[in-house]
Amino acid sequence: MNSKDKQNVKSKEEFCSSIGISVKEAEKILRSTCGGELLYFKSKGTPKERGIGQLIFAAISNSRAGKIKNILEMGTGDGTTTKIFTQLFPSTKIYTVDLPPEDIDYSQYALQYRGKLFNDNISSPNIISVQNNTFALTDTIYADNFDLIWVDGGHRFPSVAWDAHIAYRAAAPGALVLFHDYKPGEPDVVKVINYVNAIIKEEVYFVKDNVYEEHYIAYFTKE
Ligand SMILES: C[S@@+](CC[C@H](N)C(=O)[O-])C[C@H]1O[C@@H](n2cnc3c(N)ncnc32)[C@H](O)[C@@H]1O
Q: Is 206 within 8 Å of 182 (Cβ atoms)?
A: yes
Q: For ligand 1, what atom is nearest to the CA of residue 80?
A: 9
pLDDT digits (tens, 9 = 90+) for 16-75: 999 999 999 999 999 999 987 777 666 677 766 777 999 999 999 999 999 999 999 999
For 46-196, list the strands marked E by DSSP.
46-49, 70-74, 93-98, 127-131, 146-151, 171-182
Q: Given ligand 1 and candidates 57, 74, 76, which is best to mutate, with the most ligand atoms within 8 Å of its CB? A: 76
Q: Calculate how far, in angstroms, residue 186's C-alpha sits from the geometric centre of ligand 1.
A: 14
- Considering only CA atoms, which of 40, 46, 81, 88 is closest in space to residue 63? 88
Q: How confident is the model at residue 137 (pLDDT cuts 50, 70, 90)?
A: confident
Is the pLDDT confidence value at 4 over 60? Answer: no
Q: Confirm if 30 and 54 have CB atoms less than 8 A apart.
A: yes
Indicate whether residue 153 lines ligand 1 (CB < 6 A): yes
Pick the residue whose CA is nearest to atom 4 on ligand 1.
77
Write the pLDDT tens digit of every residue in 140-199.
Answer: 677 769 999 999 999 999 999 999 999 999 999 999 999 999 999 999 999 999 999 999
pLDDT value at residue 2: 58
pLDDT of residue 99 exceeding 80: yes
Residue 3 pLDDT more than 60? Answer: no
Ligand 1 center to residue 195 CA distance, Å? 21
CA distance 22 to 118: 32
Summarize the confidence of residues 77-94 as an average pLDDT. Answer: 95
Confirm or reject: Cβ of 51 under 6 Å from ligand 1: no
Our measurement of the distance from residue 113's CA atom to the centroid of its chain's CA atoms, rounded to an integer in Å, reads: 18
On whether the CB atoms of residues 206 and 214 are closer than 8 A, the answer is no
- Any ligand 1 atom below 6 A from CB of 77: yes
Q: Which of ligand 1's atoms lies nearest the C-alpha of 81?
A: 8
Give all domains of the chain, ordered by start, each with its CATH number: 3-221 (3.40.50.150)
The predicted pLDDT at position 102 comes to: 92
